[in-house]
Structure 1
């Protein structure tokens, strides 16, 4: 995968994620519409590859205004990943040499690997995750499950223990996938299914789209490292 193809794939996926995110705010408060209206327009231009460097710069400015409006990344990890991808893409399109463009894009790939590994490392040192109690509490007490019927999963501790360990082991072992193209493709497919499950079970739909937008950078970096 060439650098240009990977950048373009990331731009398309990021544009789709931004279109979804901003559409949710168009029925909100007036000040949110003022910010997300231009963001919708810019995301549309990015989707079709129109004036891409300037559009990315405009999206960065809107992103900073949104940080000010909500006093930080109000939607947590998905907003942080959105800004990370956006800043890396903008740097890759504005830096003067291909070498520095590659550095900016490789940084995104590296951060993606670190995100998965740290997420697993934090869980695996937590006794409540190792025992399965953490997932039980999520299903029993949190506001995340999209259906009340899903809360009955809290009464199946063995299943949740197995699910918890599957997630932890996958995340901490994720960096090993970089040693093989086939393993990386399988790992990314599994990760996408994981985020899709979170969207279906907990309504975390933003995580699915925005994490997918970072995958082309890792596919490109793995192939670039082999070459």
Structure 2
């Protein structure tokens, strides 16, 4: 994948992510409602590749306004990742040379890979994740809108134990997928499926769009480092 193709594909997915987030604010109160409308239409412009530098600059300004408004990320990790993807794509456009453009996108690819590894590391050092209790609690007593049929999964300790270790092993081994193009594709499909499952089971729909927004960049990055 060429660097220009990676950037454009990431911008398209990022546009969907920001449009979705904007709709949440549009249904709320002022002044977030007004910012939501502005960000939604900027997302539409980004989707079609219209003045991407100016649009991404505008989205960054709104992101800073919302960070100040809520004294930090409004929705935790997904908002942090949203700003990271947006910032790196913006920097890739204004970079003075091809070298610095690759640095900006390479940093995004590194952070994506590290985010999965870090998530796995935090889990594996926690004894309650290692014995399956943490995931059992997620299904049994979570505040997320989980159906009763899904909550009943928590009554199967062996299932929770197996799922816990499957998630941890995948997240810890994710960086190794950078060693092979096809392994990376498989890893990204699994990761996207994982985010989709979280969206369907727990309503964590923001994560489904924003992490895949960086997937085209990491595919370019893997090909770039293998070519050196």
TM-score range, shorter chain: over 0.9
Structure 1 runs of 4+ aligned residues shifted over 2 Å read: none
1:196 maps to what in 2?
196
Counterparts of 2:203 and 2:59 in 1: how far apart (Å)? 25
What pairs up with 1:95-134 in 2 under 5 angstroms?
95-134=95-134
CA RMSD of aligned residues (A): 0.8
Shift of 1:114: 0.5
Asked if structure 2 preserves the Cα contact closer than 8 Å seen for 1:198 and 1:205, the reply is: yes
Structure 2: where are the runs of 5+ without partners? Answer: none
Asked if structure 2 preserves the Cα contact closer than 8 Å seen for 1:42 and 1:59, the reply is: yes
Structure 1: where are the runs of 5+ without partners? Answer: none
Pairing 1:224–2:224 present? yes
Shift of 1:145: 4.4
Asked if structure 1 preserves the Cα contact closer than 8 Å seen for 2:116 and 2:172, the reply is: yes
Counterparts of 1:39 and 1:74 in 2: how far apart (Å)? 15
Number of aligned pairs? 227
Asked if structure 2 preserves the Cα contact closer than 8 Å seen for 1:146 and 1:200, the reply is: no
Shift of 1:18: 0.6
What whole-Å deviation, never above 9, does each CA across 1:75-122 have from its counterpart, x for those lacking one? 011000000001101111111111101100110000001000010011
2:139 maps to what in 1?
139
Shift of 1:69: 1.4
Asked if structure 1 preserves the Cα contact closer than 8 Å seen for 2:66 and 2:74, the reply is: no
When normalised by structure 2's length, the TM-score is 0.98
Pairing 1:173–2:159 present? no
1:158 maps to what in 2?
158
